[in-house]
Amino acid sequence: MKHLFLLCSLSIVLVLAACSGGNSSSSEAGDNAAGSSENPASSRGNELVIGVSSEPQNWDPIDTFLLDWSTVATSVFEGLVDRNNDLEIQPGLAESWEYVDDKTLVFKLRQGVTFHNGEAFNADAVKYTFDRLLGEQGQQGPQYSNYTSIESVEVNDEYTVTFHLNTIDPVILTKLASYGAVIVPPGYIEENGEEYFDTHPVGTGPFKMTGYERDQQIVLEKNENYWKEGLPKLDKVTFKVIPEASTRLAELQTGSIDIMKRVEVSQAETVKSTDYLELMETGTPTVFALRFDTSIEPFDDVKVRQAFNYAIDRNALIEEILGGYGIPIATFQSELSFGYNPDLEPYPYDPEKAKQLLQEAGVTEGTTVDVYIPGSDGNFKEITQAVAFYLEQVGIKLNINTVDVTTLNSDLIPNGNAGGMYRNGWGGWTLDFDNTAYQMYHSGEFWNPTFYDEEIERLLEEQRNSVDQEEREAIFKQLTQRLYELAPEVNLYQAVDLYAVNKRVVDFNPPHDDRLRLEEVSVQ
């Protein structure tokens, strides 16, 4: 009976959240548009407009680690290695590669490729890119630590380079398929300077950036000299930055945008009931948690962290708020990630156990803790409101602070100023737990200002020094078990992303990893 009462009370909280001002405009727009057969975007021409919630405010690949960067910049930049929509590694700007030994990797480069400014892509550009990434400037950014296994890049001839590694790196190829390793134009950067490159990026991709208004829009136009014959099919793509989901949906329904990213669960039925729109879903490597700052009381006590895990019913959050679009997780990685531990189950919902642990830790009833979340994420706002309800049942008051997502990820979290708890979302872009675990739990990393555990440090280094995947998998089992016990966060769910797409759009495939691949997309 008590559990039933909690669920009924939680339902009231969720109803109130759904009736708040943030969602009212989307409901009204949905009532007006549902069933309409006339497509308001049909006269736009051979171009797309995509509504996104935010943008990274810096387009230099060594300065960012945000998924918002990859959503746009995947169309502008390319790396030696690529990863397609099925998450398979394939050739990119390198036609082929070969291991000479465990620490020596030779790449044969694609010939006849040019950057958007007309500069030639060649071995010198590859060497410049990695010298820059691993040099003084690159070391100040969040990408650097992913590539420290690269000792040097040697130019063999105009279209051959050799990567010399200082240690075995079992995930180097998938790293080279990601953001920080995209190739940049030496001449352009040297001529125009680093600050100019931040807002006027140049790559070799299917589209070139021709317009950028911070926090408003990004304009890409077709790269007429793209090396893939016949691509891209579109003449222009505009990304409109629209933080509020209700406003993005209204823009979609009036035809101002063709694709809406980050559809909220409460909007799904509206999209499905509109004749000219399609709701598309995709499983992702992205996971969400509420992470603790373990240097702040009471979260410096493992019993408190475990208590918070027992206090929250993840399954109810997923079903009641996410409409089932989510998968509960026991550690901070998705089931798509190598190193995922299927033997671990999420902490069970046990508020009595939570109360016991809080009492043992000396936490008094009525203790207030701060949590910081992005103000633009409507789904997570509701998640946090429900979490506040659960914590209140065990005597904890949650003070919810909403901030700009870029401020949270690029300033507050890395500087240890995000309160005792904060939303932690991670894309797991290498599909290998090495990247996630190292960035989150290795001491001194950009997004880990306070957490430290000696055994975790040892296990992280052990798995990085082996190319034997069975051995690495065994190490990851030890690592995830230890993290499960230490509970540095409340792991919540693996995300399922929802996109709303105008039916005039052809061959759009929602990506698992936020990296929109648009070169094959067309309109009718």
**What CATH code is carried by the domain that includes residue 434?**
3.10.105.10
Pairing of strands 236-241, 47-52: parallel
**What CATH code is carried by the domain that includes residue 46?**
3.40.190.10
pLDDT score of 379 = 84
Tell which residue, 346, 347, 342, 364, has the closest CA to residue 355.
Answer: 364
- Residue at 403 is within a domain: yes
**What is the count of structural domains for the chain?**
3
Query: Of all helices (H) and strands (E), which one includes residue 383?
Result: helix 378-393
Bridge partners, residue 106, by sequence: 98, 162
- Residue at 1 is within a domain: no
User: SS3 sequence, 27-84?
Assistant: HHHHHHHCCCCCCCCCCCCCEEEEEECCCCCCCCHHHCCCHHHHHHHCCCCCCCEEEC
Tell which residue, 395, 306, 311, has the closest CA to residue 349.
Answer: 311
- Residue at 194 is within a domain: no
- Residue at 199 is within a domain: no
- Residue at 257 is within a domain: yes
Range of the domain at 132: 77-187
- Residue at 72 is within a domain: no
- Residue at 252 is within a domain: yes
378 shares its domain with 244: no
Half-sphere exposure of 218 (CA within 13 A, CB side): 29
343 shares its domain with 489: yes
Q: How far apart are CA 409 and CA 415, in angstroms?
A: 10
Query: Which of 156, 187, 218 is where one domain is finished?
Result: 187
Query: Which of 125, 156, 187 is where one domain is finished?
Result: 187
List the helix and strand counts (H, then E) for the chain.
17, 19
212 shares its domain with 360: no
How far apart, in Å, are the Cα atoms of 482 and each of 26, 440, 443, 488?
A: 44, 14, 16, 10
Tell which residue, 280, 243, 249, 323, has the closest CA to residue 24.
Answer: 249
Residue at token pair 């797991």: 428
pLDDT score of 127 = 98
How far apart, in Å, are the Cα atoms of 58 and each of 107, 138, 162, 178?
A: 29, 14, 30, 17
104 shares its domain with 40: no
Bridge partners, residue 261, by sequence: 499
Mind giving me the DSSP string for 442-510? STT-TT-SS---HHHHHHHHHHHT---HHHHHHHHHHHHHHHHHH--EEEEEEEEEEEEEETTEES---
Low-confidence ranges of the chain (pLDDT < 50): 1-8, 12-35
215 shares its domain with 321: no
303 shares its domain with 400: yes
458 shares its domain with 470: yes
pLDDT score of 10 = 55
265 shares its domain with 344: no
User: SS3 sequence, 153-195?
Assistant: EEEEECCEEEEEECCCCCCHHHHHCCHHHCCCCHHHHHHHCHH
Query: Which of 159, 187, 215 is where one domain is finished?
Result: 187
**What CATH code is carried by the domain that includes residue 168?**
3.90.76.10
pLDDT score of 378 = 84
pLDDT score of 36 = 54
430 shares its domain with 333: yes
pLDDT score of 32 = 45
167 shares its domain with 46: no
Q: How far apart are CA 275 and CA 502, in angstroms?
A: 9
- Residue at 316 is within a domain: yes
The whole model's pTM is what? 0.74
Tell which residue, 195, 219, 198, 223, has the closest CA to residue 209.
Answer: 219
Q: How far apart are CA 25 and CA 40, in angstroms?
A: 19
334 shares its domain with 476: yes
CB neighbour class for 9 (10 Å; exposed up to 12, middle 13-18, buried from 19): middle
Residues contacting 317, CB < 8 A, separation 6+: 326, 383, 386, 387, 492, 493
Residues contacting 134, CB < 8 A, separation 6+: 144, 147, 148, 150
Provide the 8-state DSSP code for 120: B
Tell which residue, 398, 502, 448, 434, has the closest CA to residue 51.
Answer: 502
42 shares its domain with 114: no
Residues contacting 173, CB < 8 A, separation 6+: 81, 89, 97
